[in-house]
Amino acid sequence: MPPYIVFDPATRRLRLDPHEPAFFQNPYEAYAFMHGASNAFFWEEFGFWCFGGFDDVNRLLRDRRFGRQNPAGIPDSRGIGQDRTHVKAFDGVEANSMLELEPPVHTRLRTLVNRAFVSRQVERLRPRVEALANELIDRFEPGEVDLLPAFASPLPITIIAEMLGVPVEMGPQLLDWSHRMVAMYMHGRTRESEETANRAAQDFSDFLRGYVAERRKRPGDDLLSLLIAAQEDGQKLSEDELVSSAILLLNAGHEATVHQTGNAVRSILAQGGDPRRFFTSPETTAATVEECLRFDAPLHMFTRYAYEEIEVGPGIVLHPGETVGLLLGMANRDPAAFADPLAFWPDRADQKNVSFGAGIHFCIGAPLARLELQVSLKTLFGRLPQLRLAEQPRFRDTYHFHGLETLAVHV
């Protein structure tokens, strides 16, 4: 047992501080221990039951007796205290976010937005993603480069901004708002981080409302115009829903992809040898990206609420409104689901993962994320096969968003 873990097999109660450096730098050591001890456990620090077995996570993501919408009516119940007036703007955005809603509202929103994210639509972006990846690499200064701000971050934020039709030069501001808002999902957040997230939500919403007004006057060939047109065609997409959808797509359209790009570069460089061997054809490139998603996922916990009394495992009964934690990163390393789960093995026969979720909340941007990763990684290593780490990268103290602080490389 790792020294930072206290686990009682009789009660299946786990004490593990998610801010423990040994854990967030390498959660897989703890996951491996828990796979051997119990794939289901009550995580004291979070205060709810968690599941880390691949089959359990896959099943519970699809189980309609659970959902994202809190039956108590509060979009995010992980507050510090009951008074939420100081996060009114944030709650307003969340209240209309399809990630936090269930059918029928979720179905209507997702059907509308999904038009832009089906594979055939996304595939048209391939030349643009490749051109942008080359453009970013061209800007690298000789010597040492931090790939996160120089490559991993600007690529997805530029693509999603262009898709939505918001100014690409707003990229840094959009990133700042996004980072402040996702801090609401971190373990151990503070009143200060809540107020900062609320201001970001307010500013983000104000910006988008202004932009929606412009787009109504001058529609373009972009997703924002498409959503506005759908609203005017009687699909009853309110302005609040429109703003929440745009914020969700901007935030989700880059946050996880940035982390996954950094994690993937780190994973590939750790294999040694010529990295181009992982990108010799469209098939090997796709397989490499799928293994990167399995091997070191960018999101490690996804929570859901029980909607009725449910026995989710032997001796584990959840009541309506209780939370369950689904550990995506742990499920992707389950020895019951994968041969040699700790090995980076792109051509494995059992290639699968739950990194994009499953069920009705399966990541709507998965085709876009896959394309961005395939094109950007192939371009990066094709252009710079001698790329190597300048220092051992360290992960941020942001479990459950698993991403690097920096990724310094010699180019």
- Average pLDDT of the residues in 189-205: 93
Residue 78's pLDDT is 47
Residue 189's pLDDT is 85
Inform me whether the pLDDT recorded for 22 exceeds 50: yes
Residue 231's pLDDT is 55
Domains detected in the chain: 6-410 (1.10.630.10)
Inform me whether the pLDDT recorded for 75 exceeds 60: no
Full-model pTM: 0.93
Res. 81 pLDDT band, cuts 50 70 90: low
Inform me whether the pLDDT recorded for 188 exceeds 90: no
Poorest-confidence range of 91-105, 284-298, 302-316? 91-105
Share of the chain above pLDDT 70, in %: 96
Residue 79's pLDDT is 46
Q: What is the three-state SS of the chain?
A: CCCCCEEECCCCEEECCCCCHHHHHCHHHHHHHHHHHCCEEEECCCCEEEECCHHHHHHHHHCCCEECCCCCCCCCCCCCCCCCHHHHHHHHHHHCCHHHCCCCHHHHHHHHHHCCCCHHHHHCCHHHHHHHHHHHHHCCCCCEEEHHHHHHCHHHHHHHHHHHCCCHHHHHHHHHHHHHHHHHHCCCCCHHHHHHHHHHHHHHHHHHHHHHHHHHHCCCCCHHHHHHHHHHHHHCCCHHHHHHHHHHHHHHCCHHHHHHHHHHHHHHHCCCCCHHHHHCCHHHHHHHHHHHHHHCCCECCEEEEECCCEEEECCEEECCCCEEEECHHHHCCCCCCCCCCCCCCCCCCCCCCCCCCCHHHCCCCHHHHHHHHHHHHHHHHHHCCCCEECCCCCECCCCCECCECCCEEEC
